[in-house]
């Protein structure tokens, strides 16, 4: 502590007197990577000095625009020559290349988009003057994302997918959108006249799920990986003013996204979000990637107050509980497992296992697993009935009047594959997500 106390007087001498009528000024000790600084700057404060001894934090501060990074002993000189002094590095050792010393943080340590990731208020997503935004929906399937985009006031101008049956349903619900049955990767006729537009993509994710991994072939994984890489590269280089992607959150997918983020640090952010926190009445954890300000919108929208239950979504439930189709239950065997020992014991699930109360979220709606109503009849027998595609669509936040295909199997697939429209809506609303209560 003495170390800091001894160093502070030098910094105090370096502070310029506040000009009358100017914004309130502040000095922050132990500034860290700048979370507080970003927030207070948004609230109108001007930073005179951010004091931090950790070299990586100072790097982050500097790369997020908090002025020139100097060693403390240089501070008075910088202020005296009217250089904007906002980040002060107090490290004992020479720290960063920015102050002409030897240390240079490796790329993996740098966090150049902190401000953008926090969704700083002055990072607007460009839109047309009337507030609409063109959306291009790649891998559109039955139209979950497009439905939410429209509810957010956007115009979905183009959608493509390789699955003709999915496109049929898409067209019935979005007749104004230009659709194309297209096997991607393929050239897409993106606008080149400089107008704002948003690109969304949900490349197929089954190969990255736990279930999908059981049936993976090497070529299947390679195709899925290439498609994911292709979409990410396309999204950040096609001229779109913003972009988004929904994907299964696994070590592989996160690593692919991280590699792209390193190449385009100001254009890529990602977060794993349980959509239950956004008001989708089911647990659905997904990786959301996209323009940093949009990802930040969505993160800020997450709140316990937004949560909705099965009963909130389905006014007339046909059971007293909900159950998914898992046929196994697992119990933890040991906590001090040695290599080769199993962690869990699996037993066949009975009809009374894996029950979810109606006052909470449903299990994840999947494309290849059904969700069932459960109740006890008068004789105390457990009864189950498979949820209809319409009920599943409500749990995925589709509107009640969304046109589903006649084939139940196909409808289940389209609904289970979809991005919940509510998530797309919260992501793309021009004014940010509506406060809870009106949402
Ligand atoms: C996760 S779903 C998309 C969900 C959609 N965004 C929604 O919100 O409803 C993935 C879609 O990618 C499509 N797809 C898979 N491989 C494709 C390819 N090579 N070219 C085009 N579409 C493909 C599938 O047909 C499927 O409809």
Give 250-259 pLDDT, tens digit per residue.
999 999 999 9
Q: Do residues 321 and 294 both lie within one domain?
A: no
435, part of any domain: no
154 token code pair: 């956007």
Helix axes 164-173, 408-417, angle to 10 degrees: 80
The residue whose CB lies within 8 Å of the most ligand 1 atoms, and thus the one to mutate among 417, 419, 428, is 417
Whether 204 lines ligand 1, by a CB cut-off of 6 Å, is yes
Q: Is a pLDDT exceeding 60 seen at residue 308? A: yes
Among the listed residues 48, 12, 362, 35, the one whose alpha carbon sits nearest the alpha carbon of residue 373: 362
> If DSSP states are collapsed to H, E and C, what string results for the chain?
CHHHHHHHHHHHHHCCCCCCCCCCEEEEECCCCCHHHHHHHHCCCEEEEEEECCHHHHHHHHHCCCCCEEEHHHHHHHHHCCCCCCEEECCCCCCCHHHCCCCCCCHHHCCCCHHHHCCCCCCCCCCCCCCCCEEEEECCCCCHHHHHHHHCCCEEEEEEECCHHHHHHHHHHCCCCEEEECCCCCCCCCCCCCCCEEEEECCCCHHHCHHHHHCCCHHHHHHHHHHHHHHHHHHHHCCCCEEEEEECCCHHHHHHHHHHHHHCCCCCEEEEEEHHHHCCCECCEEEEEECHHHHHHHHHHCCHHHCCCHHHHCCCCCCCEEEECCCEEEEECCCCCCCCCCCEEEEECCCCCCEEECCCCECCCCCCCCEEEEEECCCCCEEEEECCHHHHHHHCCCCCCCCCCCCHHHHHHHHHHCCCHHHHHHHHCCCCCCCCCCC
Q: Do residues 222 and 366 both lie within one domain?
A: no
Tell how far the Cα of 286 is from the centroid of ligand 1, in angstroms. Answer: 16
396, part of any domain: yes
283, part of any domain: yes
363, part of any domain: yes
Tell how far the Cα of 415 is from the centroid of ligand 1, in angstroms. Answer: 12
Whether 276 lines ligand 1, by a CB cut-off of 6 Å, is no
- At 53 the pLDDT is 67
Residue 212 sits in a domain of what CATH number?
A: 3.40.50.150
Q: What average pLDDT does this structure show over 348-362?
A: 88
Q: Do residues 276 and 348 both lie within one domain?
A: no
Q: What average pLDDT does this structure show over 86-99?
A: 36
Give 381's contacts (C-beta < 8 A, 6+ positions apart).
Answer: none
The overall average pLDDT reported for the chain is 80
User: Does residue 211 or residue 314 have the better pLDDT?
Assistant: 314
Last residue of a domain, one of 66, 85, 111: 111
Q: Do residues 135 and 226 both lie within one domain?
A: yes
151, part of any domain: yes
- At 350 the pLDDT is 78
The residue whose CB lies within 8 Å of the most ligand 1 atoms, and thus the one to mutate among 142, 152, 162, is 162
The whole domain housing 105 covers 5-111
Q: Do residues 349 and 234 both lie within one domain?
A: no
Q: Is a pLDDT exceeding 50 seen at residue 121? A: no
Q: What average pLDDT does this structure show over 44-51?
A: 73
Tell how far the Cα of 220 is from the centroid of ligand 1, in angstroms. Answer: 15
Tell how far the Cα of 281 is from the centroid of ligand 1, in angstroms. Answer: 23
Q: Which helix (H) or strand (E) holds 203?
A: none
Q: Do residues 320 and 235 both lie within one domain?
A: no
Q: What average pLDDT does this structure show over 398-416?
A: 96
Q: Do residues 180 and 302 both lie within one domain?
A: yes
62, part of any domain: yes
Q: Do residues 266 and 412 both lie within one domain?
A: no
Nearest CA to ligand 1 atom 6: 140
Q: What average pLDDT does this structure show over 17-29?
A: 65
Whether 419 lines ligand 1, by a CB cut-off of 6 Å, is yes
- At 266 the pLDDT is 83
Indicate which atom in ligand 1 lies nearest the CA of residue 205: 1
Q: Is a pLDDT exceeding 80 seen at residue 120? A: no
438, part of any domain: no
- At 406 the pLDDT is 95
Residue range 224-282, pLDDT digits in tens: 999 999 999 999 999 999 999 999 999 999 999 999 998 998 889 999 999 999 999 99
Report whether 371 contacts 284 (CB < 8 A).
Answer: no
User: Does residue 352 or residue 388 have the better pLDDT?
Assistant: 388
Nearest CA to ligand 1 atom 25: 163
Q: Is a pLDDT exceeding 50 seen at residue 107? A: no
Q: Do residues 293 and 314 both lie within one domain?
A: no
Domain count, the chain: 3
Q: Which residue is associated with the tokens 């006729």? A: 189
CB environment 52-70: b (16+ within 10 A), e (fewer): bbbbbbbbbbbbbebbbbb
Indicate which atom in ligand 1 lies nearest the CA of residue 223: 19
Q: Do residues 45 and 66 both lie within one domain?
A: yes
Q: Do residues 291 and 143 both lie within one domain?
A: yes
The residue whose CB lies within 8 Å of the most ligand 1 atoms, and thus the one to mutate among 204, 207, 227, 253, is 204
User: Does residue 164 or residue 67 have the better pLDDT?
Assistant: 164
* Least confident residue range of 302-311, 330-339, 370-379: 330-339
Cα distance between residue 327 and residue 22, in whole Å: 66
Whether 183 lines ligand 1, by a CB cut-off of 6 Å, is yes
Last residue of a domain, one of 111, 141, 165: 111
Q: Cis peptide before 185, with omega less than 30 degrees from 0?
A: yes
* Least confident residue range of 285-294, 303-312, 404-413, 423-432: 423-432
117, part of any domain: no
Q: Is a pLDDT exceeding 70 seen at residue 411? A: yes
The pLDDT confidence band at residue 410, using thresholds 50, 70 and 90, is very high
267 token code pair: 């254009």
pTM of the complete model = 0.74
Q: Do residues 187 and 272 both lie within one domain?
A: yes
Last residue of a domain, one of 45, 78, 111: 111
Percent of the chain at pLDDT exceeding 70: 76
């Amino acid at each position: 502590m003495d170390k800091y106390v001894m160093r502070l007087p030098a910094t105090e001498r370096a502070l310029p007197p506040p000009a009358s009528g100017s914004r309130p000024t502040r000095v922050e000790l132990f500034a860290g990577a700048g979370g507080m600084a970003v927030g207070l700057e948004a609230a109108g404060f001007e930073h005179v000095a951010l004091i931090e001894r950790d070299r990586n934090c100072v790097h982050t501060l500097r790369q997020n625009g908090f002025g020139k990074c100097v060693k403390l002993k240089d501070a008075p000189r910088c202020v005296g020559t009217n250089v904007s002094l906002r980040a002060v590095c107090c490290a004992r050792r020479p720290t960063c290349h920015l102050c002409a010393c030897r240390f240079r943080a490796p790329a993996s340590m740098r966090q150049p988009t902190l401000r953008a990731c926090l969704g700083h208020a002055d990072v607007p997503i460009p839109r047309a003057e009337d507030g609409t935004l063109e959306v291009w929906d790649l891998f559109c399937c039955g139209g979950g994302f497009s439905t939410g985009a429209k509810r957010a006031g956007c115009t979905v101008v183009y959608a493509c997918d390789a699955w003709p049956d999915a496109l049929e349903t898409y067209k019935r619900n979005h007749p104004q959108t230009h659709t194309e049955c297209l096997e991607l990767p393929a050239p897409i006729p993106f606008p080149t006249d400089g107008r704002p537009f948003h690109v969304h993509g949900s490349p197929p994710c089954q190969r990255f799920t736990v279930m999908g991994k059981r049936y993976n072939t090497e070529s299947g994984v390679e195709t899925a990986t290439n498609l994911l890489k292709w979409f990410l590269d396309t999204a950040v280089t096609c001229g779109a003013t913003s972009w988004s992607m929904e994907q299964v959150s696994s070590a592989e997918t996160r690593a692919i996204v991280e590699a792209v983020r390193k190449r385009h640090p100001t254009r890529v952010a990602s977060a794993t979000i349980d959509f239950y926190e956004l008001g989708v009445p089911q647990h659905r954890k997904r990786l959301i990637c996209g323009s940093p300000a949009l990802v930040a919108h969505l993160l800020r929208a997450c709140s316990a107050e937004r949560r909705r239950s099965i009963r909130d979504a389905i006014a007339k439930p046909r059971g007293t509980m909900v159950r998914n189709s898992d046929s196994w239950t697992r119990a933890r065997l040991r906590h001090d497992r040695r290599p080769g020992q199993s962690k869990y014991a699996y037993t066949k699930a009975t009809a009374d296992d894996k029950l979810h109360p109606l006052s909470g979220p449903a299990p994840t709606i999947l494309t290849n697993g059904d969700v069932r109503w459960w109740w006890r009849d008068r004789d105390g027998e457990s009864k189950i009935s498979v949820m209809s595609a319409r009920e599943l669509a409500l749990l995925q936040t589709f509107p009640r009047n969304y046109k589903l295909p006649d084939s139940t199997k196909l409808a289940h697939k389209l609904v289970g594959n979809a991005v919940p429209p509510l998530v797309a809506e919260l992501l793309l609303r021009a004014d940010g997500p509506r406060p809870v209560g009106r949402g």
